[in-house]
Amino acid sequence: MLSLRARRTMVALAAVLGTSLTARLGWWQLDRAAQKESLQQAVDAHAALPPLPAPGLARTPQQAEQQLHRRVIVQGRWLAERTVFLDNRQMDARPGFFVLTPLQLDDGSAVLVQRGWVPRDMQERTRLPAIPTPAQPVAITARIEGSPARLYEFTPQGSETGPIRQNLALDAFAHETHLSLRPLTLLQLDDAAAPVADDGLRRHWPLPAVDVHKHYGYAVQWFSLAALITGLYVWFQLLRPRRRAA
């Protein structure tokens, strides 16, 4: 059986370890918040830059990473037969599809454009709306983004085919369509500088939000737990025994 001194030593060690761990987790959350704030500043800075000239649109993933969230005006022809509808997407809290169509550029390459959102037919899920897509060359204003946001799926990545899909991987889509796709996507915008046709699509794209508040909340929780452990140790192991002995 452990002696009183041994038990006190174990309790002290547990308190020190618990306080150190929770305090360290609190500082880690503050560090994560600082990283997210830096990322938000970069997003805002890129969004505020003047539109990127179309010839400068990225051709490599490294270049695409440097251009994220920047605006660009591009010209080309829609490849309407390659249109894909991403399922289970929401806009303004309504379920529907994101409509993606490749735009073939003047140099023969193509870029996948997230053209907008359309509501789902609530009576027949697989019934797709007709999206007006001009055959003549168009000019669009867009925001540069990475691959479309992924949702959970049970099938292997890149194995989906057909017009309705849960997710879309750029590499797999390029292989499927034999298109020379740029390593990014464009979020089409409604812009007076390059007015778009009335295609019935909603384009209420929000800027990427970097949530730093949750990290501050987690940090407060961890620091509070560290303070609680310290307070309990001081009360039960130091102050209370002395009051009893007095």
Please check whether residue 106 is in contact with residue 75, taking contact to mean a CB–CB distance below 8 angstroms: yes
Among 70, 65, 68, residue whose Cα is nearest residue 51: 70
Residue 137 belongs to a domain: yes
The reported pTM is 0.74
Number of folded domains in the chain?
2
- Residue 110 Cα distances to 42, 81, 105, 225, angstroms: 27, 14, 5, 53
Residues 30 and 132 in one domain: no
Residue 79 belongs to a domain: yes
* pLDDT digits (tens), the chain, 246 positions: 668 788 888 989 999 999 999 999 999 999 999 988 887 887 788 888 899 999 999 999 999 999 999 999 999 999 999 999 999 999 988 899 999 999 999 999 999 999 999 998 888 878 898 999 999 999 999 999 999 988 877 666 656 788 999 999 999 999 999 999 999 999 999 876 555 567 889 998 876 666 788 999 999 999 999 999 999 999 888 888 887 776
**Crossing angle of the two packed helices 4-48 and 213-233, in degrees rounded to 10:** 170
**Per-residue DSSP letter, 205:** P
Residues 85 and 169 in one domain: yes
Residues 227 and 125 in one domain: no
Residue 166 belongs to a domain: yes
Residues 65 and 168 in one domain: yes
> In terms of residue numbers, what domain contains 11?
4-43+213-245
